Amino acid sequence: MRKKIFGVGWIGLAALVLAGCSTIDSRIKDKQTAFDAYPAEVQAAVREGKVKIGFTPEQVEIALGKPDRIYSRTKEGAESEVWAYTDNSPSIGLGLGVGTGGPVGVGAGVSSRDYYYRDRMRVVFENGLVSELEEIKK
């Protein structure tokens, strides 16, 4: 007999998890009318998950999905909006400790700190269009 989790089987649980995932195709489908109005070169770039200078926020969101963080920055007196996409792989640590006269302990943890340094890409908007792309190479 198969066990059920929250009233659904393993296959149902996997389907629920995958249904929440956003793909380029699903994002295009959600914005099909707008996508169809884009020039052919913009459509091709979006389908490949690429962003180019001059893209609108909508085009970026279809190509890359929602950003992990949005913030403002001022550079040379001009304010811009920055969309940051982070490297979502977790940091894993392992520690070993010995207490005085006590038992030995082992622990493991997962961290999501240091977002700034874990950004894989930043998309900078000025006046509502992509003005700069910062792809962080590790």
Encode pLDDT of 93-108 as tens digits: 555 555 566 666 656 5
Phi, psi dihedrals of residue 71, rounded to the nearest 5°: -150, 165
3-state SS, residue 86 = strand
Query: Hey, what are 87's tokens?
Result: 């490297």
DSSP state of 49: T
Encode pLDDT of 49-84 as tens digits: 999 999 999 999 999 999 999 999 998 888 999 999
Beta bridge partners of 121: 85, 135
Closest CA to 35 of 23, 46, 21, 22: 46
Burial class of 25 by CB neighbour count within 10 A (0 to 12, 13 to 18, 19+): exposed
Flag whether pLDDT at 126 surpasses 80: yes
Encode pLDDT of 14-25 as tens digits: 444 444 578 999
